[in-house]
Chains A and B, each alone.
Chain A
Amino acid sequence: MQQEKRIAPRRRFVEALLGSGFLATAVAFLYPVLRYLVPPKAADLGSDAVVAGRVSELKPNSGKLFRFGNRPGLLIRTSSGEYRAMSATCTHLSCTVQYREDLRQVWCACHNGRYDLNGRNISGPPPRPLEDFEVQVRGDEIFARRRRET
């Protein structure tokens, strides 16, 4: 009789411990999984395309820098209103280039290198053109896309 009395509270303790442990681990495992299942706000466009800017942002004959993956990109609105996008990393020594409204060209401040609006190197030290991106305007957003390899 006494043995049973001693066993009973111990049994309840062990069962309580086990039950709470199972519950705690179940929560610890399910919580991340449930959070994981909810899609994040930032959509995944892959490496090929980013939103370079908004239509209202750029005046004609102006440019702005944007982020393309891990490198900077340059979005230009020409004086005729067209959009051009290209990599903003100078092919000479990797400085970040900029759009010069007065020259209507892409210019690198480091050693006076110049590129035309298609990214071709036309003057100064740069040995190669800037990689140019395809531009697509959808609604209010301007997308820059890496050119597909054929």
Chain B
Amino acid sequence: MAILRNKLRPFGVTCYVALAGFFVLAASTAYGQTPNSCLDCHAALPDPLGVSQEKFSQDIHGQKGLTCASCHGGDPTSNDPDKAMSRKAGWKGKIDRRQIPQLCGSCHSDPAYIRQFNPSLRTDQLDQYRTSVHGRRFAAGDTKVAVCTDCHSVHDLRAPSDLRSTVNPVNVATTCARCHSDAAYMKAYSIPTDQLAKYSTSVHHEALTVRGDLSAPTCTTCHGNHGAAPPGVDRVQNVCSNCHTFQAQMYEKSSHKKAFEGASLPGCVVCHSNHGIGHPSDAYLGTGPEAVCKRCHTPGDKCDQARAGLQSGLNRLDEAIKGADRILGVAESSGMEVSEARLGQDQARASLTKARVTIHSFRPDLVDQDIQAGLKLAAKDLQAGNEAMVERNHRRVGLGISLIAIGIVLAGLWLYIKKIETY
């Protein structure tokens, strides 16, 4: 028995140490947390009263040390529900929707307060909100419009840089669509609800979600976030020009700008659409289903002829580049070295891109300049490809000559062998 006890003793000591350690660990996790007795009950309650500790630990306010009482009032240190949720302690209960912007703004519009947490965080969100369509309707008494918590979520509110945040660029469109794609919800308003559907087909959406390019525009890029409003028919060009500067510069000086403004048409959107912006193609200048010019212009008139000229110019350059590519490909697969010409092809393709951008000036003479430059480059590369093929043929001829010489040697050897072995 004594032996067993001796053997068990180290085991027992370990158990006590482990238990003590567990308590220390548990206590230390609680250290630094401001007491928040609300979650003790509310974690176990079902929706809509339920907020788990896990959920709130994701919330940036919780992480910065704020508690439920910071917004809801009450006494978070007390375990007694009556004391914790007493009006005397300032308990507000469920925040009425109409109070939300004011409530959030009570901290977020106070620069001195926010400076304590993040000095570079903006504090004009509430002001901006008041200028937005949401804000203006809200002030007029509409409670269906978005308030802070509709976009930012609540109780698990994350910083926008967090990929899981509802206002992270990759998630913005889904967040806006919660209302704006709900036809039943938006029935009272006179705006369409197909924006997300259209945007999902767009080249910007692809850049954002497939390529992961966070610089690609989403709803808030063009409409603003807190001050969300459509840019206005006469301001569309300004919005697009933030990235597409060259096209905007060309358009600014073009005949179409005056024409569109005069007809109150929304600039870039007329040809490129606003939400469903697809990858533009030369077919826009054609006569098929994708053609945009024919929506306004009569077939056969002066402008239509110019359009045909533009399209044929672009096609010509495209064909020239493809032709040079083809022959360079054949040369390369035959083992010829054509990397210089391939680089030239990159420049030719850049000329084609530039020509397509110059379309926005609606000046055939300017477009033609770019096309001619590109054609010259493509012609040079085609020549390089042809020269490579000539060199390839030279090699084959050289091979043929060597093979003939070898054939002669073989014939000679054969005959010589026959000769010396026949007596």
Question: Pick the contact of B408 from A10, A20, A71, A92 — CB < 8 Å?
Answer: A20
Q: Which B residues lie within 8 Å of A124 (CB)?
A: 215, 243
In the complex, whether A79 has a CB less than 8 A from a CB of chain B is no
| CB–CB B343/A25 < 8 A | no
CB nearest to A93 among chain B residues: B213
The residue that A109 contacts in the complex, of B215, B246, B413, with Cβ under 8 A, is: B246
Question: Given the complex of chains A and B, what is the CA–CA distance between A72 and B215 in angstroms?
Answer: 24
Q: Which residue of A lies closest to B407 (CB)?
A: A21
Question: What is the bound-complex CA distance between A111 and B214, given in angstroms?
Answer: 13
Establish whether residues B413 and A18, one from each chain, have CB atoms under 8 Å apart when the complex forms.
Answer: yes
Q: Which residues on the B side are within 8 Å of A71 (C-beta)?
A: 343
Q: Which of these, B216, B245, B346, B402, contacts A25 with CB under 8 Å?
A: B402
Chain B nearest Cβ from A131, distance in angstroms: 17
Flag whether A67 is at the interface (Cβ < 8 A): yes
Given contacts A109-B246, A112-B243, contact A21 B409 (CB under 8 A): yes
Which of B342, B354, B404 makes the CB contact (< 8 A) with A70?
A: B342
Residue of A14, A24, A29, A110 touching B416 (CB-CB under 8 A): A14
Pick the contact of A14: B215, B216, B347, B412 (CB < 8 A): B412
Is B245 a contact partner of A112 (Cβ separation < 8 A)?
yes
What residues of chain B lie closer than 8 Å to A28, measured between beta carbons? Answer: 401-402, 405
Q: Contact: A96 with B243, CB < 8 Å?
A: no
Q: Which residues of A contact B342 (CB under 8 A)?
A: 70
B350 touches A95 (CB 8 A): yes
**A11 vs B419: C-alpha distance in the bound complex, in angstroms?**
8
B321 → chain A, closest Cβ, in Å?
15
**Complex Cα distance A109/B214, Å?**
19
Question: What chain B residues lie within 8 Å of A95 (beta carbons)?
Answer: 350, 353
Whether the pair A21, B411 counts as a contact (CB closer than 8 A) is: yes
A25 and B243: CB pair below 8 A?
Answer: no
The one of A15, A21, A125, A127 in contact with B405, judged by C-beta atoms closer than 8 angstroms, is A21
On whether the beta carbons of A112 and B242 are closer than 8 Å, the reply is yes
Distance in Å: Cβ of B209 to nearest Cβ of chain A: 16
B244 at the interface (CB under 8 A from A): yes
Measured CB to CB, the nearest residue on chain B to A69 is B339
A11-34 Cβ-contact flags toward B at 8 Å (1 or 0): 100110111111011011100000
The reply to whether the CB of B406 lies closer than 8 angstroms to some CB of chain A is yes
Question: Residues of A with Cβ closer than 8 Å to B?
Answer: 10-11, 14-15, 17-22, 24-25, 27-29, 67, 70-72, 92, 95-96, 109-112, 124-125, 127
- 3 shortest interchain CB distances as A-B pairs: A18-B412, A125-B215, A21-B409
